[in-house]
Structures are given as structure tokens and as C-alpha cells.
């Protein structure tokens, strides 16, 4: 492979990492333990819940496979074609922050799958949390927790700890 081909391949990998994470990622960070967007065993983001409904209906609603959209390596489901189209036009607005990981956990530098039924919207951004306990801790200092989570993202994806996104966590921090 020529040096130019190697450089082009490296630049392509960096561009992909930036598009997935929304940030510049160092080469070591590109090999994260967890995917940038949490998906279930069927490849669905947010366990198939309609992320637009949090904003428009004020509640968590399961999406319908008839209204799907693929984005960032995940399948996103919606309750209507209108919701699908709103998401497709501006996915960064409607997708949960931190790829659907528990926002409080990310603020502590861990990657733990958030639950679609434990959520909040702050300054027009959607945040998921692991459970009611994590949600209470999140709500004690939302701006501070957001700042810490932003600082930890996407390095939290390399969470070396005992809590991984694929587990069946029922408790929370």
C-alpha cells in the first residue's frame, strides 16, 4: 500500500470517528469497549422508543417498525412518519445525549445503558438514565453533571470498570 493510500485510509477512519462521536478522537479512543450508540439485540436505538415523542408528547412511546430510520449504525423507530421525518431532518436534536448511555454514569466516566423510561429534557436535549436513583443524582446538579459528562465523552466508552452497556443492570448508582 502506498503512503498516500495509508494516509487516505487513516483520514477516512478519523472522519468516521468524528461523525460517530461528534468529537475529535485520538487513535486509541477509536477502539472503544462500547459502541457510540447503545443498541439492543435487534440493532434498535433506545430499545425501539420514539425519541421525537419525548419532545412532542412529553412521554416515552414505543416506535413502530413501519416508521424507521437508520442513523449512526442503529435503527431508530418512531410512532409516525412525521416523527421519523423530524428525526431524519435533525437527528442530533432528537437523539439522546451520549448515545443513549446513562447520562449520570457518563458524568462519572462510565458507559452504562440508559433506560428509555428514565429520562429528562434539559435545554432542549434528551438525557436517559439507568434508573430512579441515578435520575435523582442527575437532577441534583444537572448543569454540573452535563459539564462532567461532556468532558468524559467519548472516553467513557472505554469504561474499564465492572459496569458495561450490555449488562442487565437493574440497580443504579
Element (H, E) at 125: strand 125-129
Residue 10 lies in a domain: no
* Greater pLDDT, 75 or 16: 75
What is the reported pLDDT for 2?
53
Q: Write the pLDDT tens digit of every residue in 25-78.
A: 333 333 456 889 999 999 999 999 999 999 999 999 999 999 999 999 999 999
Residue 173 lies in a domain: no
What is the reported pLDDT for 34?
83
The strand pairing partners of 101, in sequence order, are 113
Containing structural domain, residue 51: 34-93
How far is Cα 112 from Cα 126, in angstroms, rounded to an integer? 16
Helix, strand, coil percentages in the chain from 3-state DSSP, rounded to 5 = 45, 20, 35
> Total structural domains in the chain?
2
Of all residues in the chain, the percent with pLDDT exceeding 90 is 71
How far is Cα 38 from Cα 23, in angstroms, rounded to an integer? 17
159 and 113: one domain? yes
135 and 123: one domain? yes
126 and 68: one domain? no
87 and 123: one domain? no
Residue 25 lies in a domain: no
What is the reported pLDDT for 167?
44
* Greater pLDDT, 62 or 166: 62
**Residue 147 CB coordination number (10 Å):** 12
Nearest to 121 by CA among 146, 155, 152: 146
Domain boundary among 93, 110, 144: 93
What is the reported pLDDT for 13?
42
What is the reported pLDDT for 44?
98
Q: Write the pLDDT tens digit of every residue in 108-152.
A: 999 999 999 999 999 999 999 999 999 999 999 999 999 999 999
Is residue 156 predicted with pLDDT exceeding 50? yes
Amino acid at each position: 500500500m502506498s503512503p498516500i493510500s495509508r494516509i487516505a485510509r487513516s483520514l477516512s477512519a478519523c472522519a468516521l470517528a468524528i461523525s460517530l462521536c461528534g468529537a475529535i478522537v485520538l487513535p486509541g479512543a477509536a477502539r472503544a469497549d462500547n459502541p457510540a450508540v447503545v443498541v439492543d439485540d435487534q440493532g434498535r436505538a433506545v430499545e425501539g422508543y420514539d425519541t421525537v415523542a419525548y419532545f412532542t408528547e412529553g412521554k416515552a412511546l414505543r416506535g413502530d417498525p413501519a416508521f424507521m430510520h437508520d442513523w449512526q449504525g442503529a435503527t431508530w423507530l418512531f410512532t409516525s412518519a412525521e416523527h421519523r421525518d423530524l428525526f431524519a431532518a435533525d437527528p442530533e436534536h432528537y437523539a439522546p445525549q451520549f448515545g443513549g448511555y446513562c447520562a449520570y454514569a457518563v458524568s462519572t466516566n462510565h458507559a452504562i445503558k440508559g433506560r428509555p423510561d428514565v429520562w429528562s429534557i434539559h435545554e432542549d436535549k434528551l438525557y436517559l438514565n439507568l434508573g430512579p436513583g441515578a435520575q435523582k443524582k442527575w437532577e441534583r446538579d444537572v448543569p454540573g453533571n452535563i459539564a462532567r459528562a461532556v468532558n468524559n465523552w467519548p472516553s467513557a466508552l472505554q469504561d474499564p470498570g465492572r459496569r458495561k452497556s450490555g449488562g442487565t443492570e437493574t440497580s443504579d448508582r
